[in-house]
Amino acid sequence: MTVARKKTLLIACGALAEECFAVIRSNGWEHMEVTCLPAKLHNRPALIPEAMRAKIHENRDRFDQILALYGDCGTGGQLDKMLEEEGVERIAGAHCYEFYTGAKAFEAIADAEPATFYLTDFLARHFDRLIIEGLGIDRHPELLPLYFGNYEKLLYLSQIENAELQEKARRAAERLSLKYEYRFTGLSGLGDFLSRKAG
Q: What is the pLDDT of residue 197?
A: 87
Name the strand (E) or helix (H) holding 66.
Answer: strand 65-69
Cα(23)–Cα(28) distance, integer angstroms: 9
Phi, psi (degrees; rounded to nearest 5) at 10: -105, 120
* Side-chain-side CA neighbours of residue 115 (13 Å): 9
Cα(104)–Cα(89) distance, integer angstroms: 21
Helix residue ranges, H only, the chain: 17-27, 48-59, 78-86, 96-101, 103-112, 121-125, 127, 144-148, 163-175, 188-197
Give Cα 27 to chain centroid, integer Å: 20
Closest by alpha carbon to 101, among 7, 191, 188, 6?
188
Q: What is the pLDDT of residue 2?
A: 53
Cα(84)–Cα(68) distance, integer angstroms: 11
Better pLDDT: 40 or 139:
139
Q: Among residues of the chain, what percentage have pLDDT more than 70? A: 97
Average pLDDT along the chain:
94
Question: Are the CB atoms for 63 and 34 separated by under 8 Å?
Answer: no
Question: Are the CB atoms for 118 and 157 separated by under 8 Å?
Answer: yes
pLDDT band at 21 (very low <50, low <70, confident <90, very high): very high
Strand partners, 32: 8
For range 173-186, the mean pLDDT: 97
Encode pLDDT of 86-115 as tens digits: 999 999 999 999 999 999 999 999 999 999
Nearby residues of 41 by Cβ (< 8 Å), 6 or more positions away: 13, 47, 48, 51, 73
Encode pLDDT of 130-146 as tens digits: 999 989 999 999 999 99
Q: What is the pLDDT of residue 1?
A: 46
Q: Among residues of the chain, what percentage have pLDDT more than 90? A: 89
For range 164-182, the mean pLDDT: 98
The packing angle between helices 78-86 and 48-59, to 10°, is 20
Polymer length of the chain: 199
Q: What is the pLDDT of residue 138?
A: 96
For range 154-158, the mean pLDDT: 98
Q: Give the CATH number of domain 8-90.
A: 3.40.50
pLDDT at 12 over 70: yes
Better pLDDT: 86 or 40:
86
Domain chopping of the chain, boundaries: 8-90, 102-184
